[in-house]
Amino acid sequence: GAVVSQHPSRVICKSGTSVKIECRSLDFQATTMFWYRQFPKQSLMLMATSNEGSKATYEQGVEKDKFLINHASLTLSTLTVTSAHPEDSSFYICSARDPALREQFFGPGTRLTVL
């Protein structure tokens, strides 16, 4: 199956700093990528839908100025958590949709810890 990578896999930062997470589709072109957030022992909550070359569509309650999403190419989307606070600590997972397979492939996730 298709492979999606995320970098970094784990990041610890101080409160007030910004953190960038990269999501790459390694062997297919993804016109659409998705960003999810998962709290401990809970389900994945969709944060935003990222389309290549256009602005991301954010879900209700997700602050677009805090969670900046850029989808600059067909294989790369980035999520930047700006001015991170401890409550932003979570597991962030991206997925990329392979239109040929009609299926989303998930990255391994990024564990963000804000001190």
Partner 1 sequence: AQSVTQLDSQVPVFEEAPVELRCNYSSSVSVYLFWYVQYPNQGLQLLLKYLSGSTLVKSINGFEAEFNKSQTSFHLRKPSVHISDTAEYFCAVSVIQAGTALIFGKGTTLSVSS
**Residue ranges in contact with partner 1 by CB under 8 A:** 1, 6, 31-32, 34, 41-46, 49, 51, 93, 95, 97, 99, 102-109, 111
CB of 84 to partner 1, least distance (A): 20
Which C-beta is closer to partner 1: that of 78 or that of 95? 95
CB of 16 to partner 1, least distance (A): 26
- Give me the residues paired with residue 49 across strands: 34, 57
- Give me the residues paired with residue 98 across strands: 103
CB of 38 to partner 1, least distance (A): 9
Which C-beta is closer to partner 1: that of 82 or that of 104? 104
Distances (CA, A) of 96 to 3, 83, 110: 9, 26, 15
Which C-beta is closer to partner 1: that of 17 or that of 73? 73
Which C-beta is closer to partner 1: that of 4 or that of 16? 4
Cis previous bond, 8, omega within 30: yes
Beta strands in the chain (DSSP E): 4-7, 10-13, 19-25, 32-38, 44-51, 57-58, 67-73, 76-81, 90-98, 103-106, 110-114
